[in-house]
Amino acid sequence: MRNLVIKIIGVVLMAIFVIYLFYSPKLKFDVLENPKQNDASNHAYKQKEPKYENKKLEKGVGTWIGKPLSHLTQKYGQAERSYPYKNGFKQYVFRGKDTYYLVTTKKDSIKSVYATGKKAQVHPFKVRGNASKVFEHAYINPEVEIKDQDESKEIELSDEDLKTQTLIQYKDTYAQVYSDQETHKILAVRYLDAEALATFEPYTNKEDSEDAKEEADSVPYSQNANQLMTLYEITNEMRKIKGIKPLKISNELGDIAEVNLYNALTEDQTEFTEDALRRELDRNEIRYDQLGLNVGYGFNDVPSVVHNWLNSDSHRSRMLNSKYSEMGGEIKDHYYTLLFLKRES
């Protein structure tokens, strides 16, 4: 009798488990949206004189701002890649041993430099240095005032911004310091002039509007392809800083990410599920032990989405997972997707 009762209980539990598997909600990959969406904190303002000022930068890549591109090529040679960017800007990638520089120019003048890598010359900061020292050695105004030509704007930094991407003014140059909220270490620094800061708007999002859609539709394919390569490169730079092996870039996974994003965008409700991704991998006969997908939406550029992923627990865990061996991604309509995979051993 006792054995019969145990068997009946076992059958009931198995039935409940099967029903749960059948009716349980699909596992979804969370989309990290720009927290600045619909944020009205960036607005026109009346020019004010700051109470304190930081001294002009005297060394490091921040001193490149305003100089001709030839100043850089004479020292580092020709860029590894270059491609058109928004509003007449152009981007150049310079890579060296433990240095990565994404340089943005306009009319041959350097307007912005995103710098990372263990040996990047980001004076007065240091990659992997303690982020708390930023507040000890520089005056930081949470309401940063910029003036581009005849237009004046104020950028109001949130508490989150101050912790992860604080903005510091050095005379006519601005430094955006990207920090790791978990380890409190500096990961990268981007230097900009007022025009680049006003144009790139790293503290706002791309509104989900017809204007944004028209801009996305007008982006040349070559630019998206180059932006995707920049996404791969900066992702691997972050892994190297963390002492994690860089990922192999897979065109095969890139094709799957492209199809996966297209399918998600054509649905009535845009969502990214593991089931949909598994079906696409199975259709391409790709066997794997582990997979993950990072999705970002509404970010204005690659550095912004990468550093926001790093400061989001779930996205960080995939981006810095040492078990993954390769990646492939897609950028379209302000969506950034990156597929991570470890093939079946």
pLDDT in tens, 256-302: 999 999 999 887 767 888 888 999 999 999 999 999 999 999 898 99
Quick one: tokens of 84? 């058109």
Q: Residue 130 corresponds to which amino acid? A: N
The pTM assigned to this predicted structure is 0.84
Q: Which residues contact 105 (CB under 8 A, 6 or more apart)?
A: 69, 89, 90, 91, 92, 111
Backbone torsion region of residue 297, taken as left when φ is above 0, otherwise alpha when ψ lies between -120 and 50, otherwise beta:
beta
In the predicted structure, residue 35 carries a pLDDT above the cut 90 = no
As a whole number of angstroms, the distance between CA 150 and CA 9 comes to 77
* Distance, CA of 260 to CA of 146 (rounded, Å): 40
Superfamily name and number for 31-35+220-343: CAP (3.40.33.10)
Residues spanned by CATH 3.40.33.10 within the chain?
A: 31-35+220-343, 61-200
Residue 73 token pair: 């090529």
Give the model's confidence band at 21: pLDDT under 50 very low, under 70 low, under 90 confident, else very high.
very low
What's the pLDDT score for residue 293? 96
Strand partners, 166: 177
| Residue 184 DSSP one-character state | T
Q: What would the mean pLDDT of 97-111 be, rounded to a whole number?
A: 97
Q: Does the structural domain 61-200 have CATH classification 3.40.1170.20?
A: no
